[in-house]
Amino acid sequence: EIVLTQSPGTLSLSPGERATLSCRASQSVSSSYLAWYQQKPGQAPRLLIYGASSRATGIPDRFSGSGSGTDFTLTISRLEPEDFAVYYCQQYGSSHTFGGGTKVEIK
């Protein structure tokens, strides 16, 4: 089973700052099989990025994804108030595992 490790666990930033979230896989993952989700309290997750770098429908361009192999990154260029949430990466290659999540909180 592929294990995804997200870091940091918590990111404390101010609105307008740049957020860089990491997702590291225990084995190589096809870029097609890497996605990022945002989850706010009491809500279902929302798809942000799929195929490692493609934005889902309706996702603002301040969200971008990059990476390949075992190292992937989600970048939020300028944090808006509504971006403070928990972010998960997921791979579909083997057993469809999720990372443990990164909480982006207001500093």
Partner 1 sequence: QVQLVQSGAEVKKPGASVKVSCKASGYTFTGYYMHWVRQAPGQGLEWMGWINPNSGGTNYAQKFQGRVTMTRDTSISTAYMELSRLRSDDTAVYYCARLDYDSSGYGYDYWGQGTLVTVSS
Q: Quick one: how many helices (H) and strands (E) in the chain?
A: 0, 9
Question: Does 61 sit near partner 1 (CB under 8 A)?
Answer: no
Beta carbons of 35 and 49 less than 8 angstroms apart: yes
Of 13 and 56, the one with the shorter C-beta distance to partner 1 is: 56
Contacts with partner 1, 76-95, as mask; x by CB under 8 A? ------------x-x-x--x
Whether residue 8 has a cis bond before it, omega within 30° of 0: yes
Beta carbons of 75 and 60 less than 8 angstroms apart: no
User: From edge to edge, which strands make up the β-sheet containing 63-76?
Assistant: 4-7, 19-29, 63-76
Question: Does 26 sit near partner 1 (CB under 8 A)?
Answer: no
Of 31 and 77, the one with the shorter C-beta distance to partner 1 is: 31
**Shortest separation between residue 98's beta carbon and partner 1, angstroms:** 4
Binding site for partner 1 (CB under 8 A): 1, 31-35, 37, 39, 44-47, 49-54, 56-57, 88, 90, 92, 95-101
